[in-house]
Structure 1
Amino acid sequence: MPQPLSRIVDQLKSEPSRTGSLIITVFGDAIVPRGGSVWLGTLLAFFEGLAIDGSVVRTAMSRLTAEGWFERTKSGRNSFYRLTRRGEQTFAGATRHIYDSPPAEWNGSFELLLIGSAEDREQARTVLRDAGFGSPLPGVFVAPSSIAVPDAVEGAIRLQASAGSEMARRLVAESWALERTADAYRKFSASFAPLEASIGRGEALSDAQAFTARILLIHHYRRIVLRDPLLPAELLPRDWPGQQARILCGAIYRLLLPGSERWLDAHATNEEGPLPAAGAALLRRFADAHEAP
Protein backbone atom coordinates (compact mmCIF):
# COMPACT_ATOMS: atom_id res chain seq x y z
CA MET A 1 0.00 0.00 0.00
CA PRO A 2 1.49 3.40 -0.96
CA GLN A 3 2.69 5.33 2.08
CA PRO A 4 0.21 8.25 1.75
CA LEU A 5 -2.74 5.82 1.73
CA SER A 6 -1.20 3.82 4.57
CA ARG A 7 -1.01 7.00 6.66
CA ILE A 8 -4.66 7.78 5.99
CA VAL A 9 -5.67 4.24 7.04
CA ASP A 10 -3.54 4.54 10.19
CA GLN A 11 -5.21 7.86 10.98
CA LEU A 12 -8.62 6.20 10.68
CA LYS A 13 -7.57 3.42 13.05
CA SER A 14 -6.32 5.94 15.60
CA GLU A 15 -9.79 7.49 15.89
CA PRO A 16 -12.75 6.11 17.87
CA SER A 17 -14.58 3.40 15.94
CA ARG A 18 -16.43 4.84 12.96
CA THR A 19 -17.59 1.60 11.34
CA GLY A 20 -21.21 2.76 11.12
CA SER A 21 -20.19 6.06 9.54
CA LEU A 22 -17.98 4.22 7.04
CA ILE A 23 -20.90 1.97 6.11
CA ILE A 24 -22.97 5.09 5.42
CA THR A 25 -20.17 6.37 3.18
CA VAL A 26 -19.93 3.08 1.27
CA PHE A 27 -23.66 3.05 0.61
CA GLY A 28 -23.95 6.71 -0.36
CA ASP A 29 -20.88 6.82 -2.56
CA ALA A 30 -20.74 3.37 -4.14
CA ILE A 31 -23.87 1.27 -3.60
CA VAL A 32 -26.70 3.75 -4.23
CA PRO A 33 -25.41 4.57 -7.77
CA ARG A 34 -25.48 0.80 -8.49
CA GLY A 35 -29.05 0.04 -7.49
CA GLY A 36 -28.90 0.51 -3.73
CA SER A 37 -28.80 -3.11 -2.52
CA VAL A 38 -25.72 -5.11 -1.54
CA TRP A 39 -24.73 -8.44 -0.03
CA LEU A 40 -23.29 -8.25 3.47
CA GLY A 41 -20.29 -10.24 2.21
CA THR A 42 -19.33 -7.34 -0.07
CA LEU A 43 -19.16 -5.02 2.92
CA LEU A 44 -17.20 -7.59 4.91
CA ALA A 45 -14.64 -7.88 2.09
CA PHE A 46 -14.09 -4.11 2.11
CA PHE A 47 -13.73 -3.89 5.89
CA GLU A 48 -11.40 -6.88 5.93
CA GLY A 49 -8.98 -4.74 3.92
CA LEU A 50 -9.05 -2.24 6.79
CA ALA A 51 -8.49 -5.01 9.37
CA ILE A 52 -11.92 -4.35 10.89
CA ASP A 53 -13.43 -7.55 12.24
CA GLY A 54 -16.58 -8.90 10.63
CA SER A 55 -18.40 -9.04 13.97
CA VAL A 56 -17.94 -5.29 14.32
CA VAL A 57 -19.42 -4.75 10.86
CA ARG A 58 -22.38 -7.04 11.57
CA THR A 59 -23.08 -5.20 14.85
CA ALA A 60 -22.94 -1.83 13.09
CA MET A 61 -25.30 -3.03 10.35
CA SER A 62 -27.76 -4.32 12.96
CA ARG A 63 -27.68 -1.02 14.79
CA LEU A 64 -28.18 1.04 11.62
CA THR A 65 -31.06 -1.23 10.60
CA ALA A 66 -32.69 -0.84 14.01
CA GLU A 67 -32.29 2.94 13.68
CA GLY A 68 -34.25 2.87 10.42
CA TRP A 69 -31.47 3.41 7.88
CA PHE A 70 -31.58 -0.01 6.21
CA GLU A 71 -33.90 -2.92 5.65
CA ARG A 72 -32.58 -6.47 5.48
CA THR A 73 -33.66 -9.41 3.33
CA LYS A 74 -32.31 -12.95 3.45
CA SER A 75 -31.73 -15.61 0.83
CA GLY A 76 -30.64 -18.80 2.52
CA ARG A 77 -27.81 -17.79 4.83
CA ASN A 78 -27.00 -14.63 2.90
CA SER A 79 -28.14 -11.19 4.10
CA PHE A 80 -28.75 -8.25 1.77
CA TYR A 81 -29.26 -4.63 2.74
CA ARG A 82 -30.86 -1.65 1.08
CA LEU A 83 -31.86 1.81 2.26
CA THR A 84 -35.29 2.44 3.72
CA ARG A 85 -37.40 5.20 2.20
CA ARG A 86 -36.28 7.53 4.99
CA GLY A 87 -32.69 6.58 4.32
CA GLU A 88 -33.11 7.25 0.59
CA GLN A 89 -34.47 10.73 1.27
CA THR A 90 -31.64 11.56 3.65
CA PHE A 91 -29.03 10.22 1.24
CA ALA A 92 -30.49 12.20 -1.67
CA GLY A 93 -30.02 15.48 0.18
CA ALA A 94 -26.54 14.54 1.35
CA THR A 95 -25.52 13.46 -2.16
CA ARG A 96 -26.44 16.86 -3.58
CA HIS A 97 -24.56 18.60 -0.76
CA ILE A 98 -21.39 16.56 -1.27
CA TYR A 99 -21.08 16.25 -5.04
CA ASP A 100 -23.08 19.06 -6.72
CA SER A 101 -21.80 22.55 -7.47
CA PRO A 102 -22.06 24.94 -4.50
CA PRO A 103 -23.95 28.22 -5.00
CA ALA A 104 -21.94 30.76 -6.97
CA GLU A 105 -23.69 34.04 -6.16
CA TRP A 106 -25.63 35.71 -3.38
CA ASN A 107 -28.69 37.79 -4.23
CA GLY A 108 -28.18 40.20 -1.31
CA SER A 109 -30.92 38.95 1.01
CA PHE A 110 -31.37 36.55 3.92
CA GLU A 111 -34.22 34.42 5.16
CA LEU A 112 -34.77 34.99 8.89
CA LEU A 113 -36.81 32.66 11.05
CA LEU A 114 -37.92 33.68 14.55
CA ILE A 115 -39.01 30.82 16.80
CA GLY A 116 -40.19 31.87 20.24
CA SER A 117 -40.91 28.59 22.01
CA ALA A 118 -37.88 26.78 23.47
CA GLU A 119 -39.53 23.45 22.64
CA ASP A 120 -40.16 24.48 19.01
CA ARG A 121 -36.56 25.76 18.73
CA GLU A 122 -35.16 22.46 19.95
CA GLN A 123 -37.30 20.49 17.52
CA ALA A 124 -36.33 22.74 14.60
CA ARG A 125 -32.62 23.12 15.34
CA THR A 126 -31.30 19.95 13.67
CA VAL A 127 -33.64 20.19 10.69
CA LEU A 128 -32.65 23.80 10.04
CA ARG A 129 -28.94 23.11 10.52
CA ASP A 130 -29.09 20.27 8.00
CA ALA A 131 -30.94 22.55 5.57
CA GLY A 132 -28.16 25.16 5.77
CA PHE A 133 -29.39 27.60 8.43
CA GLY A 134 -27.17 29.18 11.07
CA SER A 135 -28.14 30.83 14.33
CA PRO A 136 -26.70 34.15 15.59
CA LEU A 137 -28.99 34.29 18.65
CA PRO A 138 -31.29 31.89 20.52
CA GLY A 139 -34.52 31.54 18.56
CA VAL A 140 -33.13 33.28 15.45
CA PHE A 141 -32.15 31.24 12.39
CA VAL A 142 -30.68 32.68 9.20
CA ALA A 143 -29.72 31.53 5.71
CA PRO A 144 -29.26 33.09 2.28
CA SER A 145 -32.73 33.49 0.79
CA SER A 146 -31.95 30.85 -1.85
CA ILE A 147 -32.14 28.20 0.91
CA ALA A 148 -35.58 26.62 1.21
CA VAL A 149 -37.25 26.47 4.61
CA PRO A 150 -37.91 22.79 5.47
CA ASP A 151 -41.57 21.77 5.54
CA ALA A 152 -41.07 20.24 8.99
CA VAL A 153 -40.45 23.63 10.60
CA GLU A 154 -43.65 24.99 12.11
CA GLY A 155 -44.58 28.04 14.15
CA ALA A 156 -41.81 30.29 12.83
CA ILE A 157 -42.12 33.96 11.90
CA ARG A 158 -40.47 34.40 8.51
CA LEU A 159 -38.75 37.64 7.48
CA GLN A 160 -36.64 38.76 4.55
CA ALA A 161 -33.64 40.99 5.27
CA SER A 162 -31.00 42.57 3.06
CA ALA A 163 -27.48 43.62 3.98
CA GLY A 164 -24.31 44.98 2.43
CA SER A 165 -21.30 42.71 2.05
CA GLU A 166 -19.48 43.70 5.25
CA MET A 167 -22.59 43.53 7.44
CA ALA A 168 -23.51 40.23 5.79
CA ARG A 169 -20.09 38.76 6.61
CA ARG A 170 -20.47 39.83 10.24
CA LEU A 171 -23.86 38.14 10.42
CA VAL A 172 -22.43 34.99 8.85
CA ALA A 173 -19.48 34.95 11.29
CA GLU A 174 -21.90 35.12 14.23
CA SER A 175 -24.23 32.45 12.80
CA TRP A 176 -21.85 29.63 11.80
CA ALA A 177 -18.66 28.19 13.33
CA LEU A 178 -16.77 28.84 10.11
CA GLU A 179 -13.26 28.82 11.57
CA ARG A 180 -13.75 25.30 12.90
CA THR A 181 -14.94 24.20 9.46
CA ALA A 182 -12.04 26.02 7.79
CA ASP A 183 -9.57 24.23 10.07
CA ALA A 184 -11.14 20.87 9.18
CA TYR A 185 -10.77 21.65 5.46
CA ARG A 186 -7.09 22.53 5.97
CA LYS A 187 -6.46 19.24 7.77
CA PHE A 188 -8.28 17.35 5.02
CA SER A 189 -6.09 18.92 2.34
CA ALA A 190 -2.92 18.23 4.33
CA SER A 191 -3.93 14.56 4.72
CA PHE A 192 -4.91 13.90 1.10
CA ALA A 193 -2.58 16.11 -0.97
CA PRO A 194 0.26 13.54 -0.59
CA LEU A 195 -2.04 10.85 -2.01
CA GLU A 196 -2.73 12.96 -5.10
CA ALA A 197 0.99 13.60 -5.51
CA SER A 198 1.74 9.89 -5.12
CA ILE A 199 -0.72 8.91 -7.84
CA GLY A 200 0.56 11.74 -10.02
CA ARG A 201 4.10 10.31 -9.72
CA GLY A 202 2.80 7.04 -11.13
CA GLU A 203 2.67 5.03 -7.89
CA ALA A 204 0.02 2.51 -8.87
CA LEU A 205 -2.87 1.45 -6.67
CA SER A 206 -4.53 -1.93 -6.96
CA ASP A 207 -8.27 -1.87 -7.63
CA ALA A 208 -8.89 -2.79 -3.98
CA GLN A 209 -6.63 0.03 -2.80
CA ALA A 210 -8.37 2.46 -5.18
CA PHE A 211 -11.74 1.54 -3.69
CA THR A 212 -10.39 1.88 -0.15
CA ALA A 213 -8.87 5.27 -0.95
CA ARG A 214 -12.09 6.46 -2.61
CA ILE A 215 -14.22 5.52 0.40
CA LEU A 216 -11.80 7.09 2.90
CA LEU A 217 -11.58 10.24 0.74
CA ILE A 218 -15.36 10.71 0.75
CA HIS A 219 -15.65 9.57 4.37
CA HIS A 220 -13.36 12.40 5.51
CA TYR A 221 -14.73 14.99 3.09
CA ARG A 222 -18.35 14.14 3.87
CA ARG A 223 -17.87 14.69 7.59
CA ILE A 224 -16.74 18.26 6.87
CA VAL A 225 -18.90 19.34 3.95
CA LEU A 226 -22.17 18.20 5.55
CA ARG A 227 -21.43 20.65 8.39
CA ASP A 228 -20.62 23.39 5.88
CA PRO A 229 -23.61 25.57 4.91
CA LEU A 230 -21.94 26.07 1.48
CA LEU A 231 -22.47 29.80 1.55
CA PRO A 232 -21.89 31.87 -1.58
CA ALA A 233 -18.27 33.04 -1.92
CA GLU A 234 -19.24 36.67 -1.27
CA LEU A 235 -20.30 35.78 2.27
CA LEU A 236 -17.24 33.73 3.18
CA PRO A 237 -13.99 34.87 4.78
CA ARG A 238 -11.23 35.71 2.36
CA ASP A 239 -8.91 32.79 1.53
CA TRP A 240 -11.63 30.31 2.42
CA PRO A 241 -10.04 26.80 2.23
CA GLY A 242 -13.24 24.98 1.33
CA GLN A 243 -12.92 25.56 -2.41
CA GLN A 244 -9.35 24.26 -2.54
CA ALA A 245 -10.38 21.18 -0.54
CA ARG A 246 -13.21 20.55 -3.00
CA ILE A 247 -10.85 20.87 -5.97
CA LEU A 248 -8.44 18.41 -4.34
CA CYS A 249 -11.22 15.97 -3.47
CA GLY A 250 -12.59 16.10 -7.02
CA ALA A 251 -9.15 15.56 -8.57
CA ILE A 252 -8.40 12.51 -6.41
CA TYR A 253 -11.91 11.13 -6.91
CA ARG A 254 -11.50 11.20 -10.69
CA LEU A 255 -8.14 9.42 -10.41
CA LEU A 256 -9.61 6.69 -8.20
CA LEU A 257 -12.89 6.15 -10.00
CA PRO A 258 -11.79 3.68 -12.74
CA GLY A 259 -9.97 1.28 -10.42
CA SER A 260 -12.56 1.48 -7.67
CA GLU A 261 -15.37 0.75 -10.12
CA ARG A 262 -13.44 -2.26 -11.40
CA TRP A 263 -13.26 -3.55 -7.82
CA LEU A 264 -17.04 -3.20 -7.52
CA ASP A 265 -17.53 -4.96 -10.86
CA ALA A 266 -15.49 -7.91 -9.61
CA HIS A 267 -16.60 -8.16 -5.98
CA ALA A 268 -19.93 -6.44 -5.30
CA THR A 269 -23.17 -8.42 -5.55
CA ASN A 270 -26.82 -8.15 -4.60
CA GLU A 271 -29.71 -10.63 -4.57
CA GLU A 272 -29.57 -11.04 -8.35
CA GLY A 273 -25.81 -11.25 -8.85
CA PRO A 274 -23.21 -8.59 -9.74
CA LEU A 275 -24.29 -5.02 -9.08
CA PRO A 276 -25.57 -3.14 -12.13
CA ALA A 277 -23.28 -0.51 -13.62
CA ALA A 278 -23.54 3.02 -12.26
CA GLY A 279 -25.30 5.63 -14.38
CA ALA A 280 -23.82 8.74 -15.97
CA ALA A 281 -24.49 10.79 -12.83
CA LEU A 282 -21.49 9.13 -11.19
CA LEU A 283 -19.18 10.68 -13.78
CA ARG A 284 -20.67 14.13 -13.17
CA ARG A 285 -19.68 14.17 -9.49
CA PHE A 286 -17.36 17.10 -8.69
CA ALA A 287 -17.77 18.26 -12.29
CA ASP A 288 -17.21 21.87 -11.22
CA ALA A 289 -14.16 21.10 -9.04
CA HIS A 290 -11.28 22.28 -11.23
CA GLU A 291 -8.54 24.80 -10.66
CA ALA A 292 -9.38 28.27 -11.92
CA PRO A 293 -7.50 29.09 -15.15
Structure 2
Amino acid sequence: MSRATLAPILDHLRGEPSRTWSIIITIYGDAIVPRGGSVWLGTLLAFFRALGLSDGLVRTAMSRLASDGWLERIKVGRNSFYRLADKGRETFRQASEQIYALHSPPWRGHFDMVLFDGNGDREATKAAMEAAGFGIAAPGLWLAPAGTVLPELASGALRFDAGGDLSTDRALAARSWSLDATAEAYRRFLAAFEPLATALDGGVRLSDLDALVARILLIHEYRRVVLRDPVLPAEILPEDWPGAAARSLCAAIYHHVLPGSERWLDENASNESGEPLPRSSEIESRFKT
Protein backbone atom coordinates (compact mmCIF):
# COMPACT_ATOMS: atom_id res chain seq x y z
CA MET A 1 0.00 0.00 0.00
CA SER A 2 2.82 2.43 0.82
CA ARG A 3 4.35 2.06 -2.66
CA ALA A 4 0.99 2.84 -4.25
CA THR A 5 0.67 5.93 -2.06
CA LEU A 6 4.04 7.24 -3.19
CA ALA A 7 3.73 6.18 -6.84
CA PRO A 8 2.48 9.52 -8.26
CA ILE A 9 5.30 11.44 -6.57
CA LEU A 10 7.92 8.90 -7.69
CA ASP A 11 6.59 8.99 -11.26
CA HIS A 12 7.03 12.75 -11.26
CA LEU A 13 10.59 12.35 -10.02
CA ARG A 14 11.51 9.77 -12.67
CA GLY A 15 10.47 12.24 -15.32
CA GLU A 16 13.33 14.52 -14.25
CA PRO A 17 16.39 12.29 -13.56
CA SER A 18 18.76 15.23 -13.93
CA ARG A 19 17.62 16.43 -10.51
CA THR A 20 19.42 13.63 -8.64
CA TRP A 21 22.18 15.99 -7.51
CA SER A 22 19.58 18.38 -6.06
CA ILE A 23 17.91 15.59 -4.08
CA ILE A 24 21.34 14.67 -2.68
CA ILE A 25 21.71 18.23 -1.38
CA THR A 26 18.20 18.00 0.10
CA ILE A 27 18.84 14.76 2.00
CA TYR A 28 22.06 16.17 3.40
CA GLY A 29 20.55 19.45 4.48
CA ASP A 30 17.35 17.96 5.87
CA ALA A 31 18.53 14.68 7.40
CA ILE A 32 22.30 14.19 7.46
CA VAL A 33 23.73 17.56 8.55
CA PRO A 34 21.62 17.60 11.76
CA ARG A 35 23.13 14.19 12.59
CA GLY A 36 26.74 15.29 12.19
CA GLY A 37 27.06 15.70 8.45
CA SER A 38 29.01 12.61 7.30
CA VAL A 39 27.42 9.41 6.04
CA TRP A 40 28.40 6.17 4.32
CA LEU A 41 27.78 6.09 0.58
CA GLY A 42 25.98 2.76 1.00
CA THR A 43 23.31 4.49 3.09
CA LEU A 44 22.64 6.96 0.30
CA LEU A 45 22.59 4.24 -2.34
CA ALA A 46 19.95 2.31 -0.36
CA PHE A 47 17.82 5.44 -0.12
CA PHE A 48 18.06 6.21 -3.84
CA ARG A 49 17.25 2.61 -4.79
CA ALA A 50 13.92 3.17 -3.03
CA LEU A 51 13.40 6.07 -5.46
CA GLY A 52 14.17 3.75 -8.38
CA LEU A 53 17.47 5.46 -9.22
CA SER A 54 20.51 3.39 -10.11
CA ASP A 55 23.73 3.23 -8.10
CA GLY A 56 25.67 4.43 -11.14
CA LEU A 57 23.52 7.54 -11.51
CA VAL A 58 23.95 8.38 -7.83
CA ARG A 59 27.72 7.76 -7.83
CA THR A 60 28.10 10.05 -10.84
CA ALA A 61 26.07 12.78 -9.14
CA MET A 62 28.07 12.42 -5.92
CA SER A 63 31.38 12.71 -7.80
CA ARG A 64 30.19 15.78 -9.63
CA LEU A 65 29.04 17.44 -6.41
CA ALA A 66 32.42 16.70 -4.84
CA SER A 67 34.24 18.15 -7.86
CA ASP A 68 32.08 21.29 -7.66
CA GLY A 69 32.87 21.82 -3.97
CA TRP A 70 29.47 20.84 -2.53
CA LEU A 71 30.62 17.56 -0.93
CA GLU A 72 33.81 16.27 0.66
CA ARG A 73 34.79 12.61 0.29
CA ILE A 74 36.46 10.56 3.04
CA LYS A 75 37.85 7.13 2.18
CA VAL A 76 38.08 4.47 4.92
CA GLY A 77 39.37 1.18 3.52
CA ARG A 78 37.13 0.33 0.60
CA ASN A 79 34.23 2.43 1.89
CA SER A 80 33.47 6.02 0.90
CA PHE A 81 31.87 8.57 3.17
CA TYR A 82 30.67 12.00 2.14
CA ARG A 83 29.91 15.16 4.07
CA LEU A 84 28.42 18.45 2.98
CA ALA A 85 31.27 20.91 2.40
CA ASP A 86 31.25 24.45 3.79
CA LYS A 87 29.70 25.74 0.56
CA GLY A 88 26.74 23.39 0.88
CA ARG A 89 26.37 23.88 4.64
CA GLU A 90 26.20 27.66 4.32
CA THR A 91 23.72 27.49 1.47
CA PHE A 92 21.34 25.22 3.38
CA ARG A 93 21.82 27.12 6.64
CA GLN A 94 20.65 30.31 4.98
CA ALA A 95 17.69 28.51 3.46
CA SER A 96 16.59 26.61 6.58
CA GLU A 97 14.70 29.41 8.29
CA GLN A 98 12.65 30.08 5.20
CA ILE A 99 11.97 26.38 4.61
CA TYR A 100 11.08 25.24 8.12
CA ALA A 101 9.84 28.33 9.94
CA LEU A 102 8.25 30.50 7.29
CA HIS A 103 5.78 33.09 8.50
CA SER A 104 4.68 36.25 6.78
CA PRO A 105 6.44 39.33 8.18
CA PRO A 106 4.34 42.14 9.66
CA TRP A 107 3.08 44.84 7.31
CA ARG A 108 4.15 48.32 8.42
CA GLY A 109 1.92 50.10 5.96
CA HIS A 110 4.50 51.16 3.38
CA PHE A 111 7.43 50.07 1.22
CA ASP A 112 11.09 50.98 1.31
CA MET A 113 12.18 52.08 -2.17
CA VAL A 114 15.77 52.21 -3.38
CA LEU A 115 16.91 54.05 -6.50
CA PHE A 116 20.32 53.41 -8.03
CA ASP A 117 22.09 55.84 -10.34
CA GLY A 118 22.78 53.15 -12.95
CA ASN A 119 26.57 53.44 -12.83
CA GLY A 120 27.31 50.29 -10.83
CA ASP A 121 27.55 46.64 -11.79
CA ARG A 122 23.98 45.85 -12.78
CA GLU A 123 24.29 42.09 -12.45
CA ALA A 124 25.86 42.34 -8.98
CA THR A 125 23.20 44.82 -7.93
CA LYS A 126 20.39 42.60 -9.22
CA ALA A 127 21.76 39.52 -7.45
CA ALA A 128 22.26 41.33 -4.14
CA MET A 129 18.89 43.08 -4.15
CA GLU A 130 16.94 39.96 -5.08
CA ALA A 131 18.78 37.94 -2.43
CA ALA A 132 17.80 40.58 0.14
CA GLY A 133 14.13 40.27 -0.85
CA PHE A 134 13.67 43.34 -3.06
CA GLY A 135 11.51 43.39 -6.18
CA ILE A 136 11.82 45.57 -9.26
CA ALA A 137 9.12 48.24 -9.53
CA ALA A 138 10.76 49.92 -12.55
CA PRO A 139 14.23 49.90 -14.16
CA GLY A 140 16.71 50.85 -11.43
CA LEU A 141 13.93 51.16 -8.83
CA TRP A 142 13.72 48.48 -6.16
CA LEU A 143 11.23 48.03 -3.34
CA ALA A 144 10.50 45.81 -0.38
CA PRO A 145 8.22 45.94 2.66
CA ALA A 146 9.47 48.50 5.19
CA GLY A 147 12.07 47.02 7.50
CA THR A 148 13.75 44.78 4.92
CA VAL A 149 17.52 44.80 5.48
CA LEU A 150 19.42 46.50 2.67
CA PRO A 151 22.49 44.82 1.18
CA GLU A 152 25.78 46.64 1.70
CA LEU A 153 26.08 47.77 -1.91
CA ALA A 154 22.89 49.83 -1.54
CA SER A 155 24.37 52.09 1.15
CA GLY A 156 24.91 54.95 -1.31
CA ALA A 157 21.60 54.66 -3.14
CA LEU A 158 18.65 57.03 -2.78
CA ARG A 159 16.06 55.69 -0.34
CA PHE A 160 12.48 56.77 0.32
CA ASP A 161 9.12 55.49 1.57
CA ALA A 162 6.21 54.69 -0.70
CA GLY A 163 2.69 53.44 -0.18
CA GLY A 164 -0.98 54.01 -0.74
CA ASP A 165 -4.22 52.31 0.11
CA LEU A 166 -4.22 48.53 0.38
CA SER A 167 -5.36 47.92 -3.20
CA THR A 168 -2.57 50.17 -4.48
CA ASP A 169 -0.01 48.37 -2.35
CA ARG A 170 -1.21 45.00 -3.63
CA ALA A 171 -1.00 46.19 -7.22
CA LEU A 172 2.54 47.47 -6.64
CA ALA A 173 3.57 44.14 -5.11
CA ALA A 174 2.06 42.22 -8.03
CA ARG A 175 3.99 44.44 -10.44
CA SER A 176 7.31 44.05 -8.63
CA TRP A 177 7.40 40.30 -7.95
CA SER A 178 6.40 37.27 -10.05
CA LEU A 179 3.55 36.39 -7.70
CA ASP A 180 1.44 34.60 -10.32
CA ALA A 181 4.26 32.16 -11.10
CA THR A 182 4.94 31.55 -7.40
CA ALA A 183 1.26 30.99 -6.65
CA GLU A 184 1.01 28.48 -9.50
CA ALA A 185 4.06 26.63 -8.17
CA TYR A 186 2.42 26.41 -4.74
CA ARG A 187 -0.76 25.04 -6.34
CA ARG A 188 1.23 22.35 -8.16
CA PHE A 189 2.86 21.42 -4.85
CA LEU A 190 -0.54 21.14 -3.17
CA ALA A 191 -1.92 19.01 -6.00
CA ALA A 192 1.09 16.67 -5.85
CA PHE A 193 1.08 16.10 -2.08
CA GLU A 194 -2.56 16.41 -0.98
CA PRO A 195 -3.27 12.76 -1.94
CA LEU A 196 -0.40 11.63 0.29
CA ALA A 197 -1.74 13.71 3.19
CA THR A 198 -5.22 12.25 2.67
CA ALA A 199 -3.85 8.71 2.64
CA LEU A 200 -1.81 9.25 5.80
CA ASP A 201 -4.78 10.84 7.58
CA GLY A 202 -6.85 7.84 6.50
CA GLY A 203 -4.54 5.40 8.24
CA VAL A 204 -2.14 4.33 5.48
CA ARG A 205 1.16 3.30 7.04
CA LEU A 206 4.49 3.73 5.31
CA SER A 207 7.53 1.58 5.90
CA ASP A 208 10.37 3.43 7.60
CA LEU A 209 12.28 3.69 4.31
CA ASP A 210 9.22 4.96 2.46
CA ALA A 211 8.69 7.49 5.25
CA LEU A 212 12.18 8.83 4.55
CA VAL A 213 11.46 8.87 0.81
CA ALA A 214 8.26 10.85 1.42
CA ARG A 215 10.04 13.26 3.77
CA ILE A 216 12.92 14.04 1.42
CA LEU A 217 10.78 14.40 -1.70
CA LEU A 218 8.39 16.62 0.27
CA ILE A 219 11.14 19.00 1.34
CA HIS A 220 12.81 18.79 -2.05
CA GLU A 221 9.66 19.97 -3.84
CA TYR A 222 8.65 22.47 -1.16
CA ARG A 223 12.01 24.24 -1.04
CA ARG A 224 12.01 24.63 -4.83
CA VAL A 225 8.93 26.83 -4.40
CA VAL A 226 9.48 28.50 -1.05
CA LEU A 227 12.99 29.72 -1.82
CA ARG A 228 11.56 31.63 -4.78
CA ASP A 229 8.81 33.15 -2.64
CA PRO A 230 9.52 36.81 -1.77
CA VAL A 231 7.75 36.18 1.58
CA LEU A 232 5.63 39.31 1.61
CA PRO A 233 3.25 40.39 4.38
CA ALA A 234 -0.13 38.70 4.04
CA GLU A 235 -1.91 42.06 3.70
CA ILE A 236 -0.34 42.81 0.32
CA LEU A 237 -0.61 39.32 -1.15
CA PRO A 238 -3.53 38.27 -3.38
CA GLU A 239 -6.54 37.18 -1.36
CA ASP A 240 -6.35 33.61 -2.69
CA TRP A 241 -2.62 33.24 -1.98
CA PRO A 242 -1.85 29.49 -1.59
CA GLY A 243 1.44 29.81 0.30
CA ALA A 244 -0.05 29.36 3.78
CA ALA A 245 -1.96 26.24 2.70
CA ALA A 246 1.21 24.78 1.19
CA ARG A 247 3.16 25.38 4.39
CA SER A 248 0.44 23.79 6.53
CA LEU A 249 0.31 20.75 4.28
CA CYS A 250 4.07 20.40 4.26
CA ALA A 251 4.23 20.66 8.05
CA ALA A 252 1.49 18.07 8.54
CA ILE A 253 3.09 15.49 6.24
CA TYR A 254 6.57 16.17 7.62
CA HIS A 255 5.61 15.44 11.21
CA HIS A 256 3.60 12.40 10.15
CA VAL A 257 6.57 10.75 8.40
CA LEU A 258 9.29 12.04 10.74
CA PRO A 259 9.27 9.18 13.31
CA GLY A 260 9.58 6.41 10.72
CA SER A 261 12.20 8.25 8.70
CA GLU A 262 14.30 8.85 11.79
CA ARG A 263 14.07 5.16 12.74
CA TRP A 264 15.41 4.18 9.31
CA LEU A 265 18.35 6.56 9.73
CA ASP A 266 18.99 5.22 13.26
CA GLU A 267 19.30 1.70 11.87
CA ASN A 268 21.03 2.34 8.53
CA ALA A 269 23.10 5.54 8.63
CA SER A 270 26.69 5.41 9.87
CA ASN A 271 29.73 7.68 9.72
CA GLU A 272 33.38 6.98 8.95
CA SER A 273 33.93 5.77 12.54
CA GLY A 274 31.37 3.05 11.99
CA GLU A 275 28.99 4.63 14.51
CA PRO A 276 25.29 5.32 13.94
CA LEU A 277 24.53 8.96 13.20
CA PRO A 278 23.15 10.52 16.40
CA ARG A 279 19.73 12.15 16.39
CA SER A 280 19.34 15.91 16.75
CA SER A 281 16.61 17.64 18.77
CA GLU A 282 16.63 20.38 16.13
CA ILE A 283 14.51 18.19 13.86
CA GLU A 284 11.52 18.16 16.22
CA SER A 285 11.21 21.95 16.21
CA ARG A 286 10.86 22.29 12.45
CA PHE A 287 7.60 23.88 11.23
CA LYS A 288 6.61 24.63 14.82
CA THR A 289 7.90 28.20 15.15
Considering the TM-score relative to the shorter chain, is it more than 0.5? Answer: yes
1:167 partner amino acid:
T
1:277 and 2:279 are equivalent in the alignment: yes
CA distance in 2, matches of 1:150, 1:89: 18
5+ unaligned residues in a row in structure 1: which ranges?
A: 289-293
Deviations 1:229-260 (A, max 9, x none): 11110110101101001101100101000000
Q: Distance in 2 between matches of 1:16 and 1:118?
A: 42
AA at the equivalent of 2:50: G
- Aligned partner of 1:41 in structure 2 is 42
3-state secondary structure, aligned to 2:83:
strand
User: Letter of the aligned partner of 1:76 in structure 2?
Assistant: G
Separation in structure 1 between the aligned mates of residue 184 and residue 287 of structure 2, nearest angstrom? 22
| 1:270 aligned counterpart, secondary structure | coil
Aligned to 2:109: 108
How far the C-alpha of 1:139 sits from its partner, in A, is 2.5
Shift of 1:220: 0.7
Q: Per the alignment, do residues 221 and 113 of structure 1 end up closer, same or farther by CA in structure 2, a change over 3 Å counting?
A: same
Q: Which secondary structure state, in structure 2, belongs to the residue aligned with residue 274 of structure 1?
A: coil
TM-score by length of 2: 0.92
Alignment partner of 1:81: what SS? strand
Distance across 1 between alignment mates of 2:115 and 2:17:
37
Work out the CA distance in 2 between the residues paired with 1:170 and 1:121.
26
Aligned partners of 1:36 and 1:193: how far apart in 2? 31
Counterpart contact for 2:29–2:89, Cα < 8 Å: no
Distance (Å, rounded) in 1 between the aligned partners of 2:79 and 2:215: 26
Distance in 1 (CA, whole Å) between partners of 2:248 and 2:158 is: 36
- What does 1:90-169 correspond to in 2, within 5 Å? 90-117=91-118, 120-151=121-152, 153=153, 157-164=157-164, 165-169=166-170
Which 5+ residue runs of structure 2 have no aligned equivalent? none
Q: Which residue of 2 aligns with 1:291?
A: none
> Which residue does the alignment assign to 2:88?
87
Residues 145-188 of structure 1: per-residue CA shift (max 9 Å, x gap): 3322234x367515131313222212211111111111111111
Secondary structure in 2 matching 1:38 = strand
Q: What CA distance in whole angstroms lies between the structure 2 residues aligned with 1:16 and 1:48? A: 13
How many Å separate the matches in 2 of 1:124 and 1:56? 37
Q: In angstroms, what is the RMSD of aligned CA positions?
A: 1.9
Structure 1 residue 30 corresponds to structure 2 residue 37: no
Q: Distance in 1 between matches of 2:82 and 2:146?
A: 38
Percentage identity across paired residues of the two chains: 52
Cα shift readout 1:33-89 (whole Å, capped 9, x = no counterpart): 111222222111111111211121122122222222222222122222222223222
Q: What is the match of residue 22 of structure 2?
A: 21
- Corresponding position of 1:205: 206
> Number of residue pairs matched?
286
Residue 98 of structure 1 and its aligned partner are, at CA, apart by: 0.4
**Paired residues of 1:113 and 1:158 also in contact (CA < 8 A):** yes
